[in-house]
Chain A
């Protein structure tokens, strides 16, 4: 596609429910990142995929958070037993080559605004 696409753009859920957030990276991009942004803060790293595997998941806050990228393209961020503190904008980014390759640039989606009530 023309850019990184995230769905849904907004999600309101009740505390304790399960949610899935989807990211469609730019076609051909091998690297995919998830970030979380709270109001007034910069984006906070959650997890990084290189291809199908999670190269670094050290930013996931706890075991309620999980992400997959089974075919090396679309990724889904899954949150179990949601809490009000999970409310934030979840951003996805993709890159043509692994971060660290010369002149690699990250492209971000519009984000999914998650509100847990």
Chain B
């Protein structure tokens, strides 16, 4: 188990559903990240939050909506997803933006879109 906790571990949803992925860390990290990982591919960055503010959006479709309610929590709201959005969604955190500190990853949410 990692110190970055993601829920749920698995999610199956239809294309018209609305769901949310949650990520929590209690290491006092001030930078948090969402990645998407397709099978046999490396993680691809989606969003970066620094001090609870969105600092990078890698041109992600609006059907993915991130939210950072506080320094420990990061959500990813999902709506009207497509089958090609099926993937492992990884959350990561790092100590402080601008400092050379490694990102630590959660175990991910495996998402399947029917």
Q: Does A associate with B in a complex?
A: no
Name A residues whose Cβ lies closer than 8 Å to a Cβ of B.
none
